[in-house]
Structure 1
């Protein structure tokens, strides 16, 4: 989650996923582009593209969202629920002083909800901060709550509820929490709050008070408390914090002493006495160990991450390294169990004390090693019902304000996931029987391949059973124009999705994903892991690629693990990859071929094909067919019923049934095509970028950030559909309103047409 979360577009922490694919050429504004300046949506009943009907009339009208035994989300009445979701902070901007470089003016929250519903959104996430705002109320008591944040939550939940949109609530982020010396928290106000909520009892008790005031007091905009409101579907306990991440080493002073005393208590319970623990460690002591005080030193997290050429054998009486291995395993277990215990206590409090019926997500963060620690992190979430992670997609971005803005002089690589499928952000190991969400994600500016994002997320979330992807973020009522990142400084926003490339390509992707038009695959890998294996950090059968946060990870890109796993990470693109905890590893099953033809991956459903060498991916299902591609190397794609041929360098095309019938017999079909866009006047030049590790990569240097409007690459696409019943082709504007008709070319097998150059939607009837 970004720093300064109230200003969603202003002061974020950059969180990019380092990609290694070759950089691609940039579109040049001019005759090859069209100006993206849609009028404000009037929500006319004459719109031919309005997905509001997919949502309930009132979110929660059938009861609380649940998880079924298969680990899928369902509505209160048991109907399947897939989340096409966004992070919104619009409620923060509905009042207050205007910002000189934000031209749109204050957004209308009710219109914002209607706008999202029309484009296929059925869930929003509110990342707020309910701890006292010490900047405005420096004398706040620890039991106070941030009332303005609560009001924004209340107003947003009420507005979204009316449009059938559910809410995920993230009320606490340690990185944004400020402490007061008056609160009696050990270590005082100057320390970071990261990690403290897992074990500091004073902070935990305050957090419970904050939650009680947030969840049990009546929302004046609905007449219900949030605990009673079924439109609030998911509650996150905390955002982006873990005792298995590097920030645990920053816990120092009195809090370090307290945590190490807890460690000592854990060891006494496990071994009987600290002397017996030291005997098990066989001399692997540390100078700071102090058994008389019940305190044992916690090793730097690096000791849990580094992977020797051969792991010491636990139990080897002749090797001191074996003692070090036991100590590392004990520390890993302690940290994981500490988080697990906190999560269990909070779930118990929410359920029994506050009467909360919502699903609970304990966390969404990563660890210091995706190979050796991520599974222990996910195990710690099991007291709640839902798992999650935050993963951003982009490339290298170096600049003075790289964490929150794009500015002249910035350097970047423009990398396409189509060239490197192992870095698809939803390549998750999902815990068996539990929903999995990506609660913050985006193809982050200045990356210019956002159109592949909606296509790939819809396709592969469907295949793997990922239950929701939350695009990050917006503070605008509708579209976000090219504009200052913070409203004051000459820059372009970085953490935005309401662009032609991404938000413009929501409808077809959301429709196909939410209605289940793309099949879920059979499990490719089901890995059973004992808890002992987690504590010993044994290499799993398959591991997720590490993500990258430039504000908390060193270097410029994610460090690729050199550890070899037993199953290729290509398996994530074939079908679901699952894990189960506390089970016999001998029960592990690999149920599909995981060594496919190099460069070409076909899902075990047969509906998805990804050719990384040629740079394209196709969806070929009865009710949805399409392609995302670098068309220069692969211009034509004939699918079961639809053919696409493009002269564009890049784009993503989808044909999806609007009446639920297969495309070959459907009487209403949406054809959607997204290309690329840049701000008007944007320019960049090729350059060589020096990375922090001394290496260099080819990339680009921003010469001009441009201005409004977006300039969109004109479509150069021919479409054929094997459906003889189609009679008309209507071009729509960005609000779904008819603007012109196209001539259909008829053949014995169906119809064909040239996609309009300056549009994104065509409806065939």
Structure 2
């Protein structure tokens, strides 16, 4: 029995009938087979070793290599234990990432408190002031292996540090992640600088360079999703009684609130004129010389404009002082050559402009967004944890899509990266996420995307572990699209918008944007159409100059980019995005039989899917000899079960991962001088499954039948 026949019998055994199609086991192996190379290995897109020509720098507001050529970051996050693979696994992981076109890894939660194998700190001590020699050695070796393959590194300095008894931090046991406090408490800032010095001045024995002088270290981030202004409007600066921190966003304790009270009142007397101070005292209802209480969120709407603006400026200045102080310490004291980012704009239900006004003074501006981040719940009776998601497609909601939300943060003259984004599992429409965001990131001319997260755990568990909401390493739909879209992103297949719409805000508008209704999300800019980022690029031009009124913009049924390459068809329940460029074409969403692009048209059985056709050899599709077609629909875990309204799971499921294959037919036309076309079905490693099949020619095109249990097809054109 030949291999192809054995494979098809195996497929028949592993298919499970479900509503709308069949589920098929489909895994993405992370170790290379060695003797059977992947037919969709896109590591050729990377420049190895990373930083070979020198340090990445900024030119005309974008990231460029030492030779001046444009660098676009196509990255993933590595979280906690995934940052510290065993040496025998590190090379395989680095090679795996490179095969999928990943050219940067964001090291996230290096400072976690989740266990010995998941943190850079020594574990069995009462202090976080010493680094584990074993974990640091693993990190060094991994960074060197990534560098060899053209993968840059991004270090996050403060993400998950939980302080310990001997750190000399007040209320250490109650702070949790210590968000907000990390930005103003002198002792904690001292510890942050100490940690930065320990890590960044350390010499990696495998690269022979200290990290301060490592050209493969492209970005250093100061803090993760951390802002005093955000903590203020979220009610986390009030001051709670000492007790266990309740999750990531715990409020500060009373000790630190009292510290802020003292600093605020000292700042008022230093910065305000006698007249303004008197007006502020009257607005606060206190006598001359008495302390002025800080505002609580429930007081914002009725607060006097002077009182609200004054307190907002206090937090903005304190935040700015932290960012500038840490930047100066890294650059001038330690000599860090990498580019530095302050934090990320991540809460799109509130204005981010006060934080961005400070963060944009550093090298890079950054944003985070998730399409329908899980809402975590706890049953009051049983204590059982759960989650809910709307589980709806983004193509039906273009004006609040991930590209639109992220577009608010980019600033003129600064590189813009997105260091966290995902369609978290188990969203049934996740196949849309990576292709759409990659396309519009190019339209907006951003500098990088990091998907969150490749993995949380060490590779020793990857073959059997059940992935969580954010792990993409085992999701065949996301991994296939990661490789396919690496082609178009690195090459810049989608042209940058022809026009950039600038937005400017006066200092007063920056502050008052905090009091606008959440219904003004995500731009909090009255008069600015949310459709503009799907048509033109947009940037913030100024934080101290009011903008002229924005041009009226009627949102059409089909929102077309000003380059003509992207179209977003609005519909309450049948939205779709099409992409038509010389080297990549795509049909994404509710794909009807009538959709036809220059080279690609499709008739498929799946109600929702993403079809991405891209040239593998860099030539235009019309003249390419090697093409890859990525055809993705839904993915799930085996035995996964939804609740009745498909907003949560009653059973999470188990490995192996499964796909609902896209079935139907595509037609390829306009392939100049083509004399024949062969199609090969590929497995999760990109290896051929069975022999190549000749595609028939009819009706002026080549017909490719999609009937195999796979997410991608390799297409070769004979001329």
Task: State the partner residue of 1:612.
Answer: 570
Deviations 1:623-664 (A, max 9, x none): 111111223xx2332112222221112110111122222212
Cα distance in 2 for residues equivalent to 1:270 and 1:531: 17
Cα distance in 1 for residues equivalent to 2:683 and 2:94: 20
Aligned: 1:764 with 2:711: no
Task: State the partner residue of 1:716.
Answer: 663
1:87 to 67, 77, 81: 77
**1:686 Cα offset (Å):** 2.0
Task: State the partner residue of 2:282.
Answer: 283
Of stretches 278-287 and 454-463 in structure 1, the one that deviates more from structure 2 is: 278-287
CA contact (8 A) 2:74 2:449 kept: yes
SS of the equivalent of 1:261 reads helix
Cα distance in 2 for residues equivalent to 1:90 and 1:239: 14
Deviations 1:672-698 (A, max 9, x none): 1111122222233423xxxxxxxxxxx
CA contact (8 A) 2:80 2:112 kept: no
CA contact (8 A) 2:615 2:628 kept: yes
Note closer, same or farther for the CA distance 1:736–1:202 as it changes in structure 2 (3 Å cut).
Answer: same
**1:708 Cα offset (Å):** 2.0
Task: State the partner residue of 2:107.
Answer: 126
2:468 to 475, 480, 493: 493
Cα distance in 1 for residues equivalent to 2:561 and 2:282: 51
Alignment of 1:164-179 (within 5 A): 164-173=150-159, 176-179=160-163
TM-score (norm 2): 0.84
In structure 1, runs of 5+ residues without a counterpart are 1-25, 97-105, 309-320, 486-491, 547-560, 688-698
**1:745 Cα offset (Å):** 1.9
Cα distance in 1 for residues equivalent to 2:276 and 2:17: 63
Aligned: 1:596 with 2:555: yes
**1:271 Cα offset (Å):** 1.6
Alignment of 1:474-513 (within 5 A): 474-475=455-456, 493-498=468-473, 499-513=475-489
Cα distance in 2 for residues equivalent to 1:114 and 1:601: 39
SS of the equivalent of 2:403 reads coil
**1:439 Cα offset (Å):** 1.2
Note closer, same or farther for the CA distance 1:383–1:38 as it changes in structure 2 (3 Å cut).
Answer: closer
Note closer, same or farther for the CA distance 1:480–1:714 as it changes in structure 2 (3 Å cut).
Answer: farther
2:679 to 699, 712, 730: 730
Task: State the partner residue of 1:690.
Answer: none
Cα distance in 1 for residues equivalent to 2:271 and 2:501: 33
**1:148 Cα offset (Å):** 5.5
**1:423 Cα offset (Å):** 2.8
Cα distance in 2 for residues equivalent to 1:35 and 1:131: 34
Note closer, same or farther for the CA distance 1:258–1:147 as it changes in structure 2 (3 Å cut).
Answer: farther
Aligned: 1:208 with 2:193: yes
**1:749 Cα offset (Å):** 4.1
Deviations 1:579-626 (A, max 9, x none): 122443245765xx732314x211111111111313211001121111
Note closer, same or farther for the CA distance 1:137–1:700 as it changes in structure 2 (3 Å cut).
Answer: closer
Task: State the partner residue of 2:429.
Answer: 449
CA contact (8 A) 1:625 1:655 kept: yes
Deviations 1:399-436 (A, max 9, x none): 5499xxx99x8654321111112232232221111122
**1:302 Cα offset (Å):** 4.6
CA contact (8 A) 1:366 1:377 kept: no
**1:466 Cα offset (Å):** 2.5
Cα distance in 2 for residues equivalent to 1:376 and 1:257: 23
CA contact (8 A) 1:129 1:149 kept: no
Task: State the partner residue of 1:436.
Answer: 416
Note closer, same or farther for the CA distance 1:143–1:29 as it changes in structure 2 (3 Å cut).
Answer: same
Cα distance in 2 for residues equivalent to 1:179 and 1:47: 45
Task: State the partner residue of 2:361.
Answer: 383
Note closer, same or farther for the CA distance 1:713–1:502 as it changes in structure 2 (3 Å cut).
Answer: same
Cα distance in 2 for residues equivalent to 1:479 and 1:144: 26
Aligned: 1:112 with 2:93: yes
SS of the equivalent of 2:174 reads coil
CA contact (8 A) 2:477 2:632 kept: yes
CA contact (8 A) 1:390 1:439 kept: yes
Aligned: 1:644 with 2:602: yes
Deviations 1:263-300 (A, max 9, x none): 22332232245xx443232611156x9946xx532212
Aligned: 1:253 with 2:259: no
CA contact (8 A) 1:91 1:155 kept: no
| Bigger RCO of structures 1 and 2 (CA < 8 A, at least 6 apart) | 1
Task: State the partner residue of 2:52.
Answer: 61
TM-score (norm 1): 0.79
The structure in which a higher percent of residues are helix is: 2
**1:259 Cα offset (Å):** 1.7
Cα distance in 1 for residues equivalent to 2:80 and 2:715: 31
Cα distance in 2 for residues equivalent to 1:143 and 1:754: 60
Cα distance in 2 for residues equivalent to 1:639 and 1:537: 42
**1:566 Cα offset (Å):** 0.5
**1:77 Cα offset (Å):** 1.7
Cα distance in 2 for residues equivalent to 1:252 and 1:396: 27
1:199 to 184, 188, 195: 184
1:514 to 486, 490, 493: 490
Cα distance in 2 for residues equivalent to 1:107 and 1:582: 50
Note closer, same or farther for the CA distance 1:135–1:223 as it changes in structure 2 (3 Å cut).
Answer: closer
Cα distance in 1 for residues equivalent to 2:392 and 2:652: 19
**1:494 Cα offset (Å):** 1.7
